[in-house]
Amino acid sequence: MTQTSEAAQRYARALFELAQEKGALAAVYADFRAFAESVRTSKDLTTLLNSPAFGRDAKIKALGAVAKKAGYSPIFGKFLGVMATNGRAKDILGAEHAFDQLYAKQRGIQRAVVRTAKEMSGAERTRIESLLARLVGGDVELSSEVDPSLIGGIQLRIGSKLVDASVAAKLNRMNTAMKGAQ
């Protein structure tokens, strides 16, 4: 889970409002997601953002080159430069998380994560998505994770709510109940 500092949230909100005002919200959202994915898959880019060994000028120059090469929108390119200039390069992924939340809220999308012991079939995924959409009364964006330690069943997280219907959780509850009965 990405940590989101207050500063990252402020930068994300400022970018969101500017992109919305300029009618470039979808483009900036796409750029931000692409950049975040690049950071997550590139050890060099991760090191650049987080390491104090690189000064502000080096970060500004490198992020400018990345933005130009990737063809990011001018708004997003300037945003990267501002964060680096202000010594906040390490907060960019946190800002991406906050921006993503603002974007989903603006579009009325609820995000959910389902964890299962084995990969779900397409039909299972579709069924869960439709049930959640009816439950929340709107669009749901579902991501899935596989965790064999669950043994069976599912864990479902929507926002801050967690429903744990896994076999592992049921076994833990039974174990706790049995210890209390002794």
Q: Are residues 159 and 170 in the same domain?
A: yes
Distance CA 181, CA 145 (A): 35
Instruction: Give 111-158 pLDDT, tens digit per residue.
Output: 899 999 999 999 999 999 999 989 888 888 898 999 999 999 999 998
Q: Are residues 66 and 43 in the same domain?
A: yes
Distance CA 28, CA 109 (A): 18
Q: Are residues 118 and 40 in the same domain?
A: no
Of 105, 120, 136, which marks where a domain is finished? Answer: 105
Q: Which residues contact 36 (CB under 8 A, 6 or more apart)?
A: 92, 93, 96
125 contacts 96 by C-beta, under 8 angstroms: no
Domain that holds residue 133: 108-181
Does the residue 127 lie in any domain? yes
Which CATH number belongs to the domain containing residue 45 in this structure? Answer: 1.10.520.20
Per the structure, how many domains does the chain have?
Answer: 2
Q: Are residues 174 and 132 in the same domain?
A: yes
Indicate yes or no: pTM above 0.95.
no
Instruction: Give 52-107 pLDDT, tens digit per residue.
Output: 999 999 999 999 999 999 999 999 999 999 999 999 999 999 999 999 999 998 99
